[in-house]
């Protein structure tokens, strides 16, 4: 049975011209949805767009490179809970074949390009032993009438098994229904499609020697066979390895090149604009993917990097931490003060001069002790470094007020 006949049997009779069977088949086969540029966009084709791939790397590697620890509240502060089995899983080894960096990077890539990152939680005796990632296209989420959620996962042997919510680590970005993340690739379909189309057009432009098409005119009339032969002969003699070589035309033929260049056709402007468009969908500053305009200077680079940590990585940091606390910690453990922490302080330290000025101010007002400052610089503590210091000529304002009141009212 033909594909069109098969789809007609499913959809029922109707006007054949009203249904684009090629587009429907491409969607069913996983080719993605067609953009107005004529190209099909899905996560595979999006990965081939340099700015989309770079945005995904900036976010995923940004989350994967910073320290990931399990902490426990202790007094007014916290400590690293190294004795807890989850600390090793988060910080070093989530399973037998992946590092923590690789697992976090994978979860982020899936969450960005495929609506969510999923891992099966393997528990032994009620304790988390490993996190096994699964491909997002093998997961189907079902919402039951009682509002609970079941994850149906296609296994390697072809079977489909249901997993309860408690057995799945689920990381996602912004959502509309509260269950699945928004499909960013579908939302950015036109921006990605135009980026792909302009890249393909520019590639073909240079394939033809970076020269626009022209017009060959003759005094007499050519038949169809002669016109096709002349066109082929001209293309063979002026494109590819023969570009920019001398042409010889006979029989009174004249060639007039159309005045069009890459700049005139706005290829470069369009491609630069698409970089900004894709970055908007990914919520990444263009500077972070290697694109800088007149607003980016050496003096402002540090502020751009800080803005990236705060506005691009910050939301993902919070999502990751809260997903770990929700999916991997029990209620009892959270009540005992356990929580996960992605430390971004190292990304916000700035240059040596700025860090020195900040540490000096915090130390001089007694807000930080030497050991805390050394910890931010990855240095070990030393005896007596846990003490706080304040200048001798400064006093507690409440004590001064009490002394003044006592003198006025004996």
Residues 292 and 383 in one domain: no
Residues 287 and 407 in one domain: no
**The pair of three-digit structure tokens given for residue 316, joined into one six-digit string:** 């993902």
State which of 348, 382, 397 marks the end of a domain. Answer: 348
pLDDT along the chain (410 residues), means of 10: 42 42 43 67 86 94 94 87 95 96 97 95 94 95 93 92 96 93 89 79 63 63 73 68 59 63 61 86 90 66 83 95 96 95 78 79 88 81 87 66 58
Output the pLDDT for position 26. 45
Considering the domain boundaries, does residue 401 fall inside one? Answer: yes
Output the pLDDT for position 165. 94
Considering the domain boundaries, does residue 87 fall inside one? Answer: yes
Residues 284 and 387 in one domain: no
Sheet of 127-134, strands arranged across:
127-134, 117-124, 168-171
**Four-residue CA torsion sign, 154, 159, 162, 163:** negative
| Domain extent for 22 | 1-31
Output the pLDDT for position 354. 75
Considering the domain boundaries, does residue 24 fall inside one? Answer: yes
> Which residues are CB-contacts of 226 (< 8 A; sequence separation ≥ 6)?
none
Residues 163 and 186 in one domain: yes
State which of 309, 330, 348 marks the end of a domain. Answer: 348
Output the pLDDT for position 13. 46
Q: Which of 162, 106, 159 is nearest to 136 (CA)?
A: 106
Output the pLDDT for position 381. 86
Residues 311 and 360 in one domain: no
**The pair of three-digit structure tokens given for residue 282, joined into one six-digit string:** 């990914």
**The pair of three-digit structure tokens given for residue 88, joined into one six-digit string:** 């090793």
Considering the domain boundaries, does residue 246 fall inside one? Answer: no
Domain count, the chain: 3
Gap between the Cα atoms of 211 and 271, Å rounded: 19
Residues 58 and 189 in one domain: yes
Residues 105 and 131 in one domain: yes
> Which residues are CB-contacts of 278 (< 8 A; sequence separation ≥ 6)?
49, 51, 52, 55, 188, 191, 192, 195
Contact 100, 68 (CB under 8 A): yes
- Count of beta carbons in the 10 Å neighbourhood of residue 42: 19
Residues 284 and 159 in one domain: yes
Gap between the Cα atoms of 384 and 70, Å rounded: 27
Residues 344 and 373 in one domain: no
Residues 24 and 52 in one domain: no
Output the pLDDT for position 152. 96
Considering the domain boundaries, does residue 226 fall inside one? Answer: no
Gap between the Cα atoms of 184 and 56, Å rounded: 11
Contact 45, 53 (CB under 8 A): no
Residues 67 and 132 in one domain: yes
Gap between the Cα atoms of 184 and 197, Å rounded: 19
Q: Which of 37, 378, 25, 52 is nearest to 197 (CA)?
A: 37
State which of 300, 324, 348 marks the end of a domain. Answer: 348
Angle between helices 189-207 and 267-282 (to 10 degrees): 150
Q: Which of 94, 97, 96, 143 is nearest to 117 (CA)?
A: 94
Considering the domain boundaries, does residue 20 fall inside one? Answer: yes
Gap between the Cα atoms of 116 and 133, Å rounded: 11
Considering the domain boundaries, does residue 230 fall inside one? Answer: no
Please return the burial class of 155, using the count of CB atoms within 10 Å of its CB with bins 0-12, 13-18 and 19+.
exposed
* Degrees to nearest 5, angle at CA 170 with 166 and 174: 135
Q: How far lies 131's CA from each of 100, 107, 118, 141, 373, in Å?
A: 10, 11, 9, 19, 35
Sheet of 160-164, strands arranged across:
139-143, 149-154, 160-164
**52, 57, 63, 67: CA torsion to nearest 10:** -170
Residue showing tokens 């928004």 = 182
Residues 271 and 386 in one domain: no
Q: Within its chain, how far is the Cα of 376 from the centroid?
A: 27
Considering the domain boundaries, does residue 157 fall inside one? Answer: yes
């Amino acid at each position: 049975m033909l594909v069109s006949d098969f789809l007609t049997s499913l959809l029922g009779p109707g006007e054949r011209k009203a249904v684009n069977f090629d587009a429907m088949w491409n969607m069913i086969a996983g080719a993605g949805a067609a953009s107005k540029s004529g190209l099909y966009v899905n996560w595979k084709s999006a990965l081939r767009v340099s700015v989309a791939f770079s945005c995904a790397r900036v976010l995923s590697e940004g989350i994967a490179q910073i320290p990931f620890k399990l902490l426990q509240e202790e007094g007014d502060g916290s400590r690293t809970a190294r004795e807890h089995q989850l600390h090793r899983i988060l910080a070093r080894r989530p399973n037998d074949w992946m590092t923590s960096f690789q697992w976090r990077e994978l979860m982020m890539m899936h969450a960005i390009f495929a609506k969510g990152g999923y891992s099966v939680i393997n528990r032994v005796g009620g304790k988390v032993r490993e996190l096994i990632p699964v491909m997002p296209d093998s997961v189907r989420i079902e919402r039951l009438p009682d509002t609970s959620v079941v994850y149906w996962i296609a296994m390697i042997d072809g079977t489909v098994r249901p997993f309860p919510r408690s057995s799945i680590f689920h990381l996602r970005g912004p959502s509309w229904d509260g269950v699945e993340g928004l499909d960013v690739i579908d939302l950015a379909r036109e921006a990605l499609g135009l980026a792909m189309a302009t890249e393909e057009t520019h590639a073909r432009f240079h394939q033809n020697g970076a020269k626009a098409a022209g017009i060959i005119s003759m005094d007499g009339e050519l038949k169809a066979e002669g016109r096709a032969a002349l066109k082929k002969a001209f293309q063979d003699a002026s494109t590819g390895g023969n570009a920019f070589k001398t042409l010889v035309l006979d029989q009174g033929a004249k060639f007039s090149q159309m005045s069009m260049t890459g700049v005139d056709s706005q290829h470069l402007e369009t491609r630069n604009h698409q970089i900004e468009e894709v970055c908007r969908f990914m919520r990444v500053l263009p500077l972070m993917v290697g694109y800088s305009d007149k607003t980016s200077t050496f003096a402002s680079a540090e502020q751009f990097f800080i803005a990236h940590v705060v506005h691009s990585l910050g939301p993902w940091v919070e999502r990751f931490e809260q997903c770990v606390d929700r999916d991997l910690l029990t209620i009892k453990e959270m009540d005992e003060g356990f929580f996960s922490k992605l430390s971004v302080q190292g990304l916000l330290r700035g240059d040596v001069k700025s860090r020195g000025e900040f540490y000096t101010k915090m130390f001089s007002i007694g807000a930080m002790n030497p050991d805390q400052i050394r910890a931010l610089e990855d240095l070990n503590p030393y005896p007596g470094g846990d003490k706080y210091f304040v200048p001798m000529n400064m006093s507690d304002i409440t004590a001064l007020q009490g002394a003044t009141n006592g003198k006025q009212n004996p």
